[in-house]
């Protein structure tokens, strides 16, 4: 199971703008879908809507050096029963985000299993560690607590975020977009 033809067609509509494939992974309920939605719509959705399988979103932005890029975002359902599709959606990504909930340490501990599965198919791409729901924990986040995964799996930096306040949302997507490859063969033609 992977992207359907219909989903691939959405990508082709973005014509001349290069497309970058990114993923969001992590345990159920950590806030992935809310985060992507916040970025795409600018709104915070307080409702709990479990992702069945995978969600797809597309948004064009500018990299720090002024290049347009369309991010094609795969937001993976965190429930254990959807684990079998993870590698199919992660494969071929240019960059990604592994996410946990700052209010639930178990979601950080269990993230190691995700990173193991993901690194099997994309051993070298940049992957950010995203700590979500910062608004619920205040400023007392002990960043040192979350360094072991970064070191063990060569992740990019930890970004603390809140889909409620918007903290870290643009930073995360800009960080991902900035990994847009320079080489033309990476650009997807329509
Ligand atoms: N206070 C607060 N609540 C949040 C934040 N982000 C998400 N939530 C809430 O957390 C709940 C779960 O969020 P989702 O975005 O559905 O989580 P998910 O990671 O997509 O979950 P799965 O689809 O099951 O993998 C929802 O009720 C959200 O409104 C945040 O930054 N702050
Ligand atoms: Mg979701």
Domain boundaries along the sequence of the chain: 16-179
Tell me: domain 16-179, CATH 3.40.50.300, correct? yes
DSSP string, 14-64: TTTS-EEEEEEE-STTSSHHHHHHHHHHS----S----SSEEEEEEEEE-T
Q: Give me the pLDDT at residue 122, please.
A: 98
Q: Give me the pLDDT at residue 10, please.
A: 52
| Cβ atoms of 169 and 161 closer than 8 Å | yes
List residues near ligand 1 (CB under 6 A). Answer: 28-34, 45-51, 77-79, 132-133, 135-136, 162-164
**pLDDT tens digits, residue range 63-109?**
999 999 999 999 999 999 999 999 999 999 999 999 999 999 999 99
pLDDT beyond 70 at 187: no
Q: Give me the pLDDT at residue 184, please.
A: 39
Q: Give me the pLDDT at residue 119, please.
A: 98
**pLDDT tens digits, residue range 36-55?**
999 999 999 999 999 999 99
pLDDT beyond 90 at 188: no
The percentage of residues in the chain with a pLDDT greater than 90, rounded to a whole number, is: 84
Ligand 2 midpoint to CA 65 (Å) = 31
Better-scored residue on pLDDT, 183 or 155: 155
Atom nearest to 49 CA in ligand 1: 16
Mutational test site, ligand 1, from 24, 28, 29, 137, max ligand atoms within 8 Å of CB = 29
pTM score of the predicted model: 0.91
């Amino acid at each position: 199971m992977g992207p359907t033809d219909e989903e691939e067609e959405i990508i082709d509509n973005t014509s001349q703008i290069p497309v970058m494939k990114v993923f969001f992974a992590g345990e159920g309920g950590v806030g992935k879908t809310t985060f992507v939605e916040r970025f795409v719509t600018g709104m915070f959705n307080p409702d709990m809507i479990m992702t069945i399988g995978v969600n797809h979103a597309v948004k064009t932005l500018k990299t720090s050096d002024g290049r347009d890029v369309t991010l094609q975002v795969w937001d993976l359902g965190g429930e254990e029963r959807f684990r079998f599709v993870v590698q199919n959606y992660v494969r071929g990504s240019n960059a990604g985000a592994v996410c946990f909930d700052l209010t639930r340490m178990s979601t950080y501990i269990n993230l190691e299993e995700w990173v193991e599965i993901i690194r099997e198919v994309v051993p070298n791409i940049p992957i950010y560690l995203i700590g979500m729901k910062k608004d619920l924990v205040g400023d007392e986040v002990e960043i040192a607590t979350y360094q072991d995964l970064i070191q063990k799996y060569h992740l990019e930096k930890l970004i603390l975020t809140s889909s409620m306040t918007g903290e870290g949302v643009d930073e995360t997507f800009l960080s991902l977009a900035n990994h847009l490859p320079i080489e033309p063969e990476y650009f997807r033609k329509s």
